[in-house]
Structure 1
Amino acid sequence: MTQTRPLQAALSILAAMVLIGFIDNYVVVIAETGGLWQFHLVRTAMILPMLVAIALAFGVSLRPRRWRAVVGRSLFISTAMILYFGSLAFLPITQSVAGLFTSPLFVLLITGFFLRERVGPIRMLAAAIGFAGVLLVLQPWGAEVSPWAALAVASGFFYAVGAMATRRWCAGEETLTLTGAMFLAMAVWGSLGLGLLAIFPQDAPAGADGFVLRGWVAPGGTFLFWTAVQAVGSLVAVWLITRAYQLGEAPFVALFEYSLLVSVSAWAFMLKGERPGALALVGIALIVVAGVVIALRERRLTPPAPQTPA
């Protein structure tokens, strides 16, 4: 155990959110010429050698202690990522991220209604506020509402289950093991999608509209470049997030993950000129407030772990 270093933890998680906000804004560029399934298969092929090299360099075993627990967690997290990345080609990135950030709300609902654990009125009120924020960002009542918004919210549900599995099923597993298993699951999804599209080929529209229906195509330079950026950026972001949770208490670090909503919006504006409307900005603020309340409440209810000097 080491001393808690909240400033370093906050800087690490903020850097990770800035990086993720940047690289995820370019998924739509990948979607112009490539397919969702090919993207995940190629990205995993780029990531796994780097993961193995890191594991060998630091003497870390990638073998899971509990295979079924790790496989189950990977199934839920990878499903969430498939839905999230799929929605990125069709929605403004702010809406996709807002859908993913429904995960804390689903965690509370699963905890209270299915696991029968006490949630309390404060966190339930925060969940209601966060849900209202998501509605303001997605605006399902609008004339141009997209069915892809439902997939973005579904990604939040599967991510919530995966997050709970991480804490309940996979305690003691190495971070690199969980990371590698998740990317392997993404490769399985990619292979399944490509296999089905090879057997049942679809007439994929040109550009980003064909992202989900596009099978294997000869990868061009743009596709390979931005997929490589995604691969390296994802690994660096995972390392920064892991470091943050090692240096700070989990509820404290979780507060700063909500900066991703600001990060993706800022990058979308700088890179593509996208700017969320007034209602979406209010919704983002409500989601952040709800997340902060939930994290602070969890921090208050969780007894601090004993610490010894480094």
Structure 2
Amino acid sequence: MTVPDTFRPAGANPTLRAAAMVVTYAFLIGFTDNWVRVIAAEGGLWQFHATRTGMAAALLFLLARPLGLSLRPRRPRAVLARSLIHAVAMVIYFGCLAFLSVAEVAAGLFTAPIFVLILSRFVYGHPIGPFRVLAVLVGFAGVMLVLGFGLRAVTPAMVLPIVAGLFYALGNLATREWCAGETAETLLLGFFLGLGFFGLIGMAVLSVWNPEVAEGTAGFVLRGPVWPSSAFLFWTFVQAAGSLLGVGLMIRAYQVAEASRVAVFEYAILPMSALWTWAIWGEGISLSAVLGMALIVFAGAIIALRAR
């Protein structure tokens, strides 16, 4: 996804441009993800993913020709595998949003850089120095604080965001190791199609199984297909459009500036999510969660900067 030169300010600092794009991405994602609880109150996780994929894919195909996007994969099997891995991460992520705040779930997802380091070392044999080992320890401590481990009873919903971070890390490694040379829009389309595939499978299984489902957000994961209301369709479309625009900005940021610097800005999603949660729902975060976010950002900065 490229931007014509006529839209680039002459002499603009590429790092500042990238920072503006990433902050806008964080602003959009922090806002749209906070409305998943509205979707979860009446719809199901699987129907949400299937519907959102249909909307996002339609938007992407409509934009492909005007923007000159290439959606055909060079290595279909590699793109398929990467898409399914990332889709698993996002299914877990969005499932958790019905039970935890966006900031808490995002904190678990941002264990991904930590898992990337660990997997790079023990799977691919890449060395990691003492600074990045320190970053792993600091980052995990931050996640524990944000999710409240040791401060409240541990529940599966608290552990699952970290599992999402693990799968997201596997997807990031797949992007680097298997999908070099693929266009960003191809990977983006594959990501949405993977989510849509899981959504359709989940809807089919729940239509046959038809389990007893709790009312409201508690039934989000086990709720089968229902007739969508205007609110469900509206907020799902906001999710689809916001994700496309936000991820497009993120991709562009990595194209215009050094990746290690952009990765640090990406952690803006944590405070931005907390800010939107407070603005929309009036829910604040604890001092320990603020400290945990600071530790996660610090760990991410070490990992990114040492990646040079």
Say yes or no: TM over 0.5. yes
- Map of 1:176 onto structure 2: 185
Aligned-pair CA distance for 1:70: 0.3
* 2:266 is aligned with 1:257: yes
Query: Is the counterpart of residue 244 in structure 1 residue 253 in structure 2?
Result: yes
1:293 aligns with 2:293: no
Displacement of 1:275: 1.1
Quote the residue 2:72 is aligned against: 63
Deviations 1:27-60, CA, capped at 9 Å, x for gaps? 1111001000000000111111111111122333
Q: Which residue of 10, 15, 25 maps to 1:16?
A: 25
Deviation at 1:246, TM superposition (A): 1.0
CA distance in 2, matches of 1:295, 1:60: 29
CA distance in 2 between partners of 1:44 and 1:259 (Å): 26
Which residue of the other structure, out of 92, 98, 102, is the alignment partner of 1:89?
98
Structure 1 portions without partners, runs of 5+: 300-310
For residues 120 and 223 of structure 1, the distance between their equivalents in structure 2, rounded to whole angstroms, comes to 48
Task: Report the TM-score, using the length of structure 1 for normalisation.
Answer: 0.94
Scaled by the length of structure 2, the TM-score of the pair is 0.94
Match of 2:45 in 1: 36
The structure 1 segments of at least 4 consecutive aligned residues displaced by more than 3 Å after TM superposition are 1-4, 142-145
Deviations 1:102-158 (A, max 9, x none): 101101110112222101111010110000000111122333433112111100000
Taking the TM superposition and a 5 Å limit, the aligned residue runs for 1:94-113 are: 94-113=103-122
Paired with 1:217 and 1:120, the residues of 2 have a C-alpha distance of 52
Encode CA deviations 1:184-241: one digit per residue, 9 max, x unaligned.
1111000110111011111110000000000000000111110011011011101111
Q: Percent identity at matched positions?
A: 48
Amino acid at match of 1:196: V
Which residue of structure 1 lines up, in the alignment, with residue 156 of structure 2? 147
CA RMSD in angstroms, aligned pairs only? 1.4
**One-letter amino acid matched to 2:38:** V
- Quick one: which amino acid aligns to residue 49 of structure 2? H
Higher deviation after alignment, 232-241 or 141-150: 141-150
Separation in 2, partners of 1:135, 1:143: 11
Select 1:191's aligned residue among 189, 197, 200: 200
Q: Equivalents in 2 of 1:260, 1:58: separation in Å?
A: 27
The correspondence for 1:213, drawn from 218, 222, 230, is 222
Unaligned 5+ segments in structure 2 are 6-10
Cα shift readout 1:238-282 (whole Å, capped 9, x = no counterpart): 111111111111111111010000100011011111111111111
Indicate yes or no: 2:145 matched with 1:136: yes
SS across alignment from 2:307: helix
